[in-house]
Amino acid sequence: MGTVGKAISLLELFSVAEPELGLSDLSRRSGFDKATTRRLLVALTGHGFVEQDAGTRHYRLGAGLSRLARIREARFPFLQTAVPLVRELATATAETVHLSEFGIDRLVTVHVEHPSWANRVNVDIGQLLPLHSTASGIAYMAFARDETVKACLAGPLDAFTAHTLVEPAAISRSMDEARERGYSICDQGLEEGVISVAAAILTADGFALGTIAVAAPKARTAAADIAQRGLAVMAAAREISMRLNGDNLQILRRQA
């Protein structure tokens, strides 16, 4: 791995659950020497990608990241556009709704709305979702470029639960169904007791750039609920796609 890769993988050790980490911790988890880790942190700090707490001397993600993320957002107002509709969908369904964007080979959770239930599906911002074992992933692949789908089906397909689909053919079928239906369904593919529906959000070229999904405990989900949530998530995804692409319906033919 090159040096920049190492630096970035240091950044990726931070999460919502652990937003601040010490030098030794970072060194241990990354597997890099303490001296190396520190040198990388200093470089990152110098450009505002990392900040160091003056008191605890622990490190956290820096404002430079927010800056670049905002520049990206300005060009590509995915969050701004989508968040209101995520909120709407969350109130309408009273279940967890999460929004993801594709990155490299997985989906990145960029926004979440949780219901007030104590028993709910919890999703963290920044959480990474595999393509083959989540409703979001299936919905995404149903409208992704062939190469992306091929890469996913070729790669290792982990079975997270007894229900996870690991046969390329089965996954492919699941994608076809999602395309016809307008939304994907994933029954406990990533975790026992969780059932999700998702729909793809499309760019102007008709390919998916992300997804919106509703995730709920299976215990309080009847067949009718799935259909209802599916239609709602589909409508939300379409609305977001249209707002992003200037109501250019013609381009959305693939989804219809």
User: 187: part of which helix (H) or strand (E)?
Assistant: strand 184-187
Find out whether 214 and 233 touch, Cβ atoms under 8 Å. Answer: yes
Per-residue binder mask for a copy of itself (CB under 8 A), 121-150, x = binder: ---xxx------------------x-----
Which partner, DNA, a copy of itself, none, binds residue 204 by CB below 5 to 8 Å per kind?
none
Each residue 7-36 as x (binds DNA by CB under 7 A) or -, in order, gives ---------------xxxx------xxxxx
Does 206 contact a copy of itself by CB under 8 A? no
> Considering CB distances under 5 to 8 angstroms, the limit depending on partner class, which of a copy of itself, DNA, none binds residue 140?
none
Using CB distances below 5 to 8 A depending on partner kind, what does residue 170 bind out of DNA, a copy of itself, none? Answer: none
- Residues 233 and 55: their CA atoms lie apart, in Å, by 45
Dist. CA 175–CA 127, nearest whole Å: 22
What is the Cα–Cα distance from 117 to 216, expressed in whole angstroms?
11
Q: Is 4 in the site for DNA (CB under 7 A)?
A: yes
**SS3 category, 113:** strand
Burial of 45: CB neighbours in 10 Å, binned 0-12, 13-18, 19+: middle
- Record the tokens describing residue 249, joined without a space: 């319906």
| Residue 52 touches which of a copy of itself, DNA, none (Cβ within 5-8 Å per kind) | DNA
Q: Other CB atoms closer than 10 Å to residue 7's CB: what's the count?
A: 20
- Give the residues lining the site for DNA (CB under 7 A): 2-4, 6, 22-25, 32-36, 38-41, 52, 57-58
- Give the residues lining the site for a copy of itself (CB under 8 A): 2-5, 7-9, 11-12, 14-16, 19-20, 39-40, 43-44, 46-49, 54, 60-76, 79, 101-104, 108-111, 124-126, 145
